[in-house]
Amino acid sequence: MRFTALTFAVIAALSSLASAQFRLTPCAAVCAKEKCGEPMPRYCVCGDRRADVDKCIESNCPEGLERSQAQRSMIGLCGRARVEGMEDGQQAPMVEQLGV
């Protein structure tokens, strides 16, 4: 029984860590939704419309820490996306539910 509880705790901790690595800040998420719609496909957020999302962050996120965090969250998400090597018509992984 202890082993099972420990196993579930480890799995929960690892999955929350993995999802935290790809989480966009609320401001970045608003820009991504505005430019790419719902659900936000990673190929759109990080590829096709990346420049538009970045411009939205520059224009709409408050200057300072919040804007910096929004930009870093995009780098964190898109730095892990392998969209440049995708073939036409191939589906990219979806951006996780953001809970914004």
Instruction: List pLDDT tens digits, range 27-84.
Output: 999 999 999 998 888 889 998 899 999 999 999 999 999 999 999 999 998 885 544 4
User: Could you write out the DSSP letters of every residue in 65-92?
Assistant: HHHHHHHHHHHHHHTS---TTPPTTPPP
Q: What is the pLDDT of residue 42?
A: 86
**Dihedral over alpha carbons 53, 54, 60, 64 (to 10 degrees):** 150
Is 2 a residue whose pLDDT tops 80? no
Q: What angle do CA 78, 39, 60 make, to 5 degrees?
A: 65
Q: What is the pLDDT of residue 71?
A: 94
What is this structure's pTM? 0.59
Is 14 a residue whose pLDDT tops 50? no
